[in-house]
Amino acid sequence: MPDDSELPDTLSKGVRSADPEALRSLVRKEAPKVAGLLVRLLGPRQDLEDLVQTVFLEVCRALPRFRGDSAASTFVGGITVQVARRAMKGTAWTRRRGTLPEVEPPSTEPGADRVLDARAQLTRLQAFLADVPPKKRVAFLLWAVEGHSAEEVAQLTESSLATARKRIYDVRRDLRDRARADPMLEVWVRDE
């Protein structure tokens, strides 16, 4: 398999020429990252596999326009963000009925308390973010959870750097305010 520097050109040429191995290579390399990003942007969902497939369908449609100016992972990440934004809008069914909760039985393994605390913190963050407008939510999660710089967030969300920074700032400010009343959220604003 080619190294990362060759990946964008090789993949775009391979997929454009209907090379199934090039597409398989892209999916194998990027699918776990796509699934992880979708979970962090949207929370646990029953339709995660469908969303991952949607991302790669969109990648296939967009590859002829891919110029190779960025890494393949950035290209796929941008499409993942677009798919996540559409999924945030939900369907008429989920707006009326809501989603089924994802329930896991408590574990008795050592360190299970820490894992449960981390899950509780993430659940509280997701509850907070449910009220945040989608564009701000995506920018914040890309920055805070995925570790992208503001410049990368701007590129992934197809917005200006000033807009990306403003969205991140707004969510951080609101999260700080909410954390004063909810100690479980403090972990997300501690290092400021």
Task: Extract the residue ranges of the chain whose pLDDT is less than 70.
Answer: 1-18, 68, 90-116, 190-192
Whether residue 115 is found in the same domain as residue 90: no
How many structural domains are present in the chain?
2
Please, are residues 185 and 172 in contact by the beta-carbon 8 Å criterion? no
Whether pTM exceeds 0.75: no
If you search the block for the tokens 């969205």, which residue do you land on?
A: 167
Predicted pLDDT of residue 31: 93
Predicted pLDDT of residue 159: 93
Whether residue 68 is found in the same domain as residue 146: no
Whether residue 120 is found in the same domain as residue 183: yes
Predicted pLDDT of residue 185: 81
- How far is residue 62's CA from residue 59's CA, in Å, rounded to a whole number? 5
Whether residue 7 is found in the same domain as residue 83: yes
85: domain range?
1-94
Whether residue 149 is found in the same domain as residue 116: yes
* CATH code for the domain in which residue 145 is found: 1.10.10.10
Whether residue 182 is found in the same domain as residue 124: yes
Predicted pLDDT of residue 20: 78
- Is residue 103 in some structural domain? no
Please, are residues 153 and 164 in contact by the beta-carbon 8 Å criterion? yes
Whether residue 51 is found in the same domain as residue 134: no
* CATH code for the domain in which residue 75 is found: 1.10.1740.10
- Is residue 104 in some structural domain? no
